[in-house]
Amino acid sequence: MHPFEYVAAETLEEVLGLLREHGDEAKVLAGGQSLVPMLNYRLARPGVVVDINGLPLGDISVDDGRLRLGALVRYHQLEESDVLARRCPVLGEAAGLIGNVRVRTLGTVGGSLAHADPAAELPAVMTALDAQIAVASASGRRTIAAREFFTGPLSTALAPDEIVTGVETPALPAYGWAVEEMSRRAGDFAVAAVVALVSVDRRGRVDDARVAFGGVADRPVHARAAEDALRGREPTTDSIARAAQAAREALEPPSDAFVSGAYRRLVAGVLCRRALARAVARALGRA
């Protein structure tokens, strides 16, 4: 690791002041599960590391159907939280797929969003949920829609002096949910991942569907075509397959050293069909 100055910040104001002062030279340390590997491999060489783990940003709360997660909520909290299991279970299912058990001990919601790996689970979940990401700088606070927050690989709408302080999203407790992903080895980032949320009306027709992919583009992809193909329809095997096909046809995934774009698209379509089928089954169980 290159040398850097380490500051354990005590307050948000202190963090924001340091980011204002140091700009691009500063890196924010939350769970460290992406930052510290980059430091170890000298891919990141910040002058200052600002440790925010002392800040009170670790709470999960739900009121009035709105779910709030502090930036420092850890993945294992998403897996183990009773209130999330009741009100927004898609988060626990997604968190259980992240990295390995050690990553889930320390990794944070805010860190995953700010790091913005295109194949990561939580950016796709927040895209599906249509979450609002709360950010702050020394100049003030604002919220950014998750669907506009991710701007490219490891790139976001955050200014250099801004940090993520939390996420707010509708909890959607009446929706069925499913997260499907395929990776080459256990713990690897996904070749493709999909998050599906479905609600049904009293006649058993799809009232609303939310679908988002990870791993198939330079950022999470909101799959409007699949949602439109399902809304108002009876959720049969056929209509689900057609929705997954519509989603797949809208994708143009990249190739990499391991996986061709064509294969990635095929996998994404299959995973989408499976996720929709599971989400529908759960929605019918909850309706």
Binding stretches for other proteins (CB under 8 A)? 1-6, 8, 29, 32-33, 36-37, 39-41, 49, 51, 53-54, 76, 99-103, 105-106, 186-187
Bridge-partner residues for 143, per DSSP?
Answer: 134
Query: For residues 132 and 130, what is the distance between their CA atoms, to the nearest angstrom?
Result: 7
Quote the least distance from Cβ 18 to other proteins, whole Å.
Answer: 14
Helix, strand and coil content of the chain, in percent to the nearest 5, comes to 40, 25, 35
Quote the least distance from Cβ 91 to other proteins, whole Å.
Answer: 19
Quote the least distance from Cβ 74 to other proteins, whole Å.
Answer: 9
Token pair for 21: 């002062």
Quote the least distance from Cβ 227 to other proteins, whole Å.
Answer: 31
Give the burial string for 153-178 (b: 16+ CB within 10 Å, else e).
Answer: eeebebeebbbbbbbebbbbeebbbb
Residue number, 14 or 208, with CB nearest to other proteins = 14
Residue number, 106 or 157, with CB nearest to other proteins = 106
Residue number, 181 or 207, with CB nearest to other proteins = 181
Query: For residues 274 and 266, what is the distance between their CA atoms, to the nearest angstrom?
Result: 13
Nearest to 195 by CA among 251, 275, 270: 275
Residue number, 74 or 210, with CB nearest to other proteins = 74
Cβ of 239: how many Cβ atoms within 10 Å?
A: 17
Quote the least distance from Cβ 174 to other proteins, whole Å.
Answer: 29
Residue number, 79 or 207, with CB nearest to other proteins = 79
Is the Cβ–Cβ distance between 193 and 119 less than 8 Å?
yes
Residue number, 29 or 84, with CB nearest to other proteins = 29
Residue type, 230: L
